[in-house]
Structure 1
Amino acid sequence: MVRAGVAAALPALAGIALGHSAVAATATLGAFAVVYGEGRAYRVRWRVVSIAAAALVFLAGVGAAVGAPVHAAAAAAGDSALGNSALWATVLILTMTVVVAVCAFVVDGLRLGAPGAFLPLLTVEIASSLPALGVSTTEVLAWTASGAASALLVSMSGFLVRRRTPERAAVAAAVAAVGAALSDSSSPTSRRDAVRALHAAWQCLHDAALVGRDHALTRALHAAHLRCASMVDGRDADHASDTDDLRPQVPLPRPSIRYRLGRAAHPRGRSWTIVARLLVACPAAGLLALSLDVGRPDWAVITAAMILHQGPDRVLGTYRGLHRFFGTVLGLGLLAVLATLDLTAAALVLVVALLMAGTEAFLVRNYGVAMVFITPLALVVGSLGTHMDLGVVTRDRLLETLLGVAMALVVLWTVLPRSYRRILRDADEQVAHTIGRIADTRDPVAVAELCHDLEFDLHASTTAAITSAHTDPAWTRTLWPEHHHLHELGYRTLARHLGPSM
């Protein structure tokens, strides 16, 4: 949380000191990259943040390049409102749709989790509004790049002092979660949180190249892992749960990027379901807002996208829609409070830094609370602190949020309504296929690689079963015996070929 705020504040304050107070807050767009490094070992964090930073700089340039003719066309028509230039506004809507579809496919395929495609799309949306304030595409790129450089430096700032801090934090969180689960063993929520914390900690130690070494962190995590595995053994035998993926063996590292994206490219998989819904909902929400002559159809697009991009689960998607709307309402209230203050440029940067920190703190934990910070953050950076007609902004933002939420929920429940069945069957078929390949392979190196793939496939199968159970518990129960048997066979296969992990 502190890193996110500092990464946004440093280049912006430097810009103010150098006399560029009007555009310095644009650096926040590149500073978003710091969020993608949280929880990662320093050994890989620099690479993750660098890739995210490069993507954000590129997308800021795309947003500004598309936004410039949009606003020029609107100004030539005698009105500065974005919605009055239908052709160029449509180009912006379609650009945002393509960006979120591609980003969502990559994020879901790689199983990167939150914040997913949200910050890239938010970058495009904010950057597209800056040309209306006289900010050139070159300036947007330069200031976004400065924020990206700040994100990399801030995210790696602890390496020289305490280079094992991410691993220690991950292991401590997992041990605490297991302790909480053991003290309240009847709670499915505490068991689920413990399993997720254990998997996250093991991946952090894999990234740090500590797994397989006699290290205090590895020993502590393994002891917590065994305690949790003993607790969940035999539970949840009649329905899908995250605890299905916790066995005494230490989890393997993620398979290669090529394998994960190859699996995502399967037309029957979940990633294409997400993309298909985005390709319907985003243009529909934007064009509907445009037809109603509301000022910012891009807000409707980003609202619809943020409800749909995190997965095909209709129940969780509906909750995200409610979080989006009520979080936006509270965020506009916070914006109203900020609008009453006569903030200097430096004070405005500090406010942006605090909003950035709040966004990072809650984006993964609670989307509704995160929206309280994201809403004023997007509006303040998108206006660069210039005067806003609060009544018009509130009206447009609420209306377009409502349009985006409504369109997303309609698409969520009507487009590919039985996709959860196809996704679960595909996931189970892939598990069976990988088990068969392991049985037919004699090369130990190839078997080890296939075991990595199999564990990933088992996780995907569990996720698909949970989504199916949320959506259609009666149908899922009919498939459960077959699914559960296949799942057990997969983990027996892993245990047979890998043996004791430690």
Structure 2
Amino acid sequence: MDVRLRTTSAWGTPNWQLLRAAHRPELRPALRVGFGLAIPGIVLLILGHGELMVYAVFGSVVGMYGRNPNRLQRLKDQALAAAMMLAAGISAIFIAPWHLAPWPFLAAGIMVALCSSLCSDRFGLKPGGSFFPLFAFGALGSLPVGEQLATSGLAAFVLTAMFSIVLGQTTRFVGSERRNTGRGLPWQEILRRAGCYGCVVLLAGSIAMLLGVDHLAWVMASAVVPLAAGNARGRLSRGAHRVAGTVAGLLVLLGIYSLQLPEVWLGLAVIFLMFPTEGYMTRNYGLALSFFTPQIMLMLELADPSVDASVMLERALANLLGVSAGILGALFFDPKQR
């Protein structure tokens, strides 16, 4: 039997080139999204409002949706993404002073998952799914803002999202960028997928509350991660990347904490981490999360200085529970191969 090492992919591309591409960041989108956060973020730090960085980070996520070389289609994609993100984030900002109990908060999260899945699938938005809108809703809706509406945070969130759209229109793209034709899935498939997202979030949140696990926002967001893959093997891989990236990110976070940086430098670290997060998001999901995890942890700490090591460990465990429930839920609610 002639056994040889396969050196090419199914498309005729050498495997070593595919491997190298997976470990090379996408510089153009990384710079666009990074500067979409860097400029508003530096303004916030100069004004002495590092606690508002969390709002700016989620506003800058709008920049991740603008990869189409066609300027008009890119504007449509980002406008739709902005509407989706702003609907989730503004709703969260308005309910934050109410300090919702876990079950009503979960119900609201399910609605966000359903609506964002419908929107992203109907218009073919990339990245697809409910992860970013749902995470924005959970994180901003659970911030300890007291009894007053966080109007400064609302302004930072909206202005950063609008700035990301402007930045997307002033950037020159090449044909190799990820395309979106603006055409989504058939309605039957759209509704089926939205139902899967809602059921998975319900399952993960219910398990978390029955087990007494806090940080429901992390559980909900992590639960929808496996659904981005189209089959059982891909979902296991996606979930494993999520867990491995989170663990690696916690190690990065410990390294940053060991430096005992002042608030301004922590804010700059949040800004810097956005560049590799977006650079690797489509090439190496696990590596991207190793940067995204400390970024999220740091920006939430800036918003809530009472966060300590035990809280971070609890968030990591909530992340693991959410991924596990998401993989389990996908097997029951979304068995169809995509």
TM-score between both structures, scaled by the size of structure 2: 0.81
Measured after TM superposition, the shift of residue 316 of structure 1 is 1.2
RMSD between aligned residues: 2.5
Q: Equivalent residue of 1:131, what SS?
A: coil
Contact 2:135 2:217 in 1 (8 A): no
Instruction: Quickly say closer, same or farther: Cα 1:398–1:278, change in 2 above 3 A.
Output: same
Contact 1:280 1:411 in 2 (8 A): yes
Q: For 1:11 and 1:326, how far apart are their aligned partners in 2?
A: 31
| Structure 2 residue corresponding to 1:377, chosen from 286, 295, 301 | 295
Deviation digits for residues 144-200 of structure 1, max 9, x if unmatched?
A: 012113212322333xxxxxx31xx32xx4xxxxxxxxxxxxxxxxxxxxxxx8xx5
Length, aligned pairs only: 308
Corresponding residue number in structure 2 for 1:250 = none
Q: For 2:148 and 2:312, how far apart are their aligned partners in 1?
A: 21
Measured after TM superposition, the shift of residue 42 of structure 1 is 2.6
| Structure 1 residue corresponding to 2:281, chosen from 348, 363, 377 | 363
Which runs of structure 2 are paired with 1:186-335 in the superposition (5 Å)?
Answer: 254=181, 260=184, 263=186, 265-266=187-188, 269=189, 271-308=190-227, 310=228, 312-335=230-253
Corresponding residue number in structure 1 for 2:47 = 18
Measured after TM superposition, the shift of residue 19 of structure 1 is 3.7
Measured after TM superposition, the shift of residue 382 of structure 1 is 2.3
Letter of the aligned partner of 1:152 in structure 2?
I
Q: For 1:391 and 1:346, how far apart are their aligned partners in 2?
A: 23
Corresponding residue number in structure 2 for 1:5 = 34
Instruction: Quickly say closer, same or farther: Cα 1:119–1:336, change in 2 above 3 A.
Output: same
Instruction: Quickly say closer, same or farther: Cα 1:364–1:67, change in 2 above 3 A.
Output: same
For the pair 1:391 / 2:300, whether they are aligned, the reply is: no
Letter of the aligned partner of 2:216 in structure 1?
P
Q: For 2:263 and 2:334, how far apart are their aligned partners in 1?
A: 48
Q: For 2:224 and 2:217, how far apart are their aligned partners in 1?
A: 10
The structure carrying a bigger helix percent of its residues is 1
Q: For 2:147 and 2:38, how far apart are their aligned partners in 1?
A: 22
Corresponding residue number in structure 2 for 1:41 = 70
Q: Equivalent residue of 1:113, what SS?
A: coil
Contact 2:110 2:198 in 1 (8 A): yes
Letter of the aligned partner of 1:96 in structure 2?
G
Q: For 1:23 and 1:110, how far apart are their aligned partners in 2?
A: 31
Q: For 2:291 and 2:146, how far apart are their aligned partners in 1?
A: 23
For the pair 1:113 / 2:142, whether they are aligned, the reply is: no
Q: Equivalent residue of 1:302, what SS?
A: helix
Corresponding residue number in structure 2 for 1:145 = 158
List gaps (5 residues or longer) in structure 1: 71-86, 159-164, 174-196, 205-253, 421-466, 468-502
Contact 1:101 1:275 in 2 (8 A): yes
Corresponding residue number in structure 2 for 1:238 = none
For the pair 1:102 / 2:118, whether they are aligned, the reply is: no
Q: For 2:148 and 2:66, how far apart are their aligned partners in 1?
A: 29
Deviation digits for residues 378-420 of structure 1, max 9, x if unmatched?
A: 22222326252113312x1232122212211222223354x34
Contact 2:41 2:271 in 1 (8 A): no
Corresponding residue number in structure 1 for 2:4 = none
Measured after TM superposition, the shift of residue 132 of structure 1 is 4.2
Contact 2:226 2:239 in 1 (8 A): yes
Contact 2:134 2:220 in 1 (8 A): no
List gaps (5 residues or longer) in structure 2: 1-29
Which structure 1 residue ranges, 4+ long, deviate > 6 Å from structure 2? none
Contact 2:61 2:161 in 1 (8 A): yes
Percent identity of paired positions between Structure 1 and Structure 2 = 25
For the pair 1:56 / 2:69, whether they are aligned, the reply is: no
Q: For 1:156 and 1:347, how far apart are their aligned partners in 2?
A: 30
Measured after TM superposition, the shift of residue 129 of structure 1 is 2.7
Q: For 2:134 and 2:117, how far apart are their aligned partners in 1?
A: 10
Contact 1:13 1:24 in 2 (8 A): no
Q: Equivalent residue of 1:130, what SS?
A: coil
Instruction: Quickly say closer, same or farther: Cα 1:398–1:16, change in 2 above 3 A.
Output: closer
Measured after TM superposition, the shift of residue 30 of structure 1 is 0.9
Structure scoring higher RCO (CA < 8 A, sep ≥ 6) equals: 2
Q: Equivalent residue of 1:343, what SS?
A: coil
Contact 2:267 2:299 in 1 (8 A): no
Q: For 2:46 and 2:275, how far apart are their aligned partners in 1?
A: 22
Q: For 2:144 and 2:308, how far apart are their aligned partners in 1?
A: 19
Measured after TM superposition, the shift of residue 143 of structure 1 is 0.9
Deviation digits for residues 100-155 of structure 1, max 9, x if unmatched?
A: 22212322333333254322122112211323478733233111012113212322
Letter of the aligned partner of 1:383 in structure 2?
E
Contact 1:332 1:376 in 2 (8 A): yes
Letter of the aligned partner of 2:255 in structure 1?
V
Measured after TM superposition, the shift of residue 325 of structure 1 is 1.1
Q: For 1:118 and 1:126, how far apart are their aligned partners in 2?
A: 12
Q: For 2:49 and 2:332, how far apart are their aligned partners in 1?
A: 49
Corresponding residue number in structure 1 for 2:142 = 129
Instruction: Quickly say closer, same or farther: Cα 1:24–1:409, change in 2 above 3 A.
Output: closer
Measured after TM superposition, the shift of residue 23 of structure 1 is 2.2
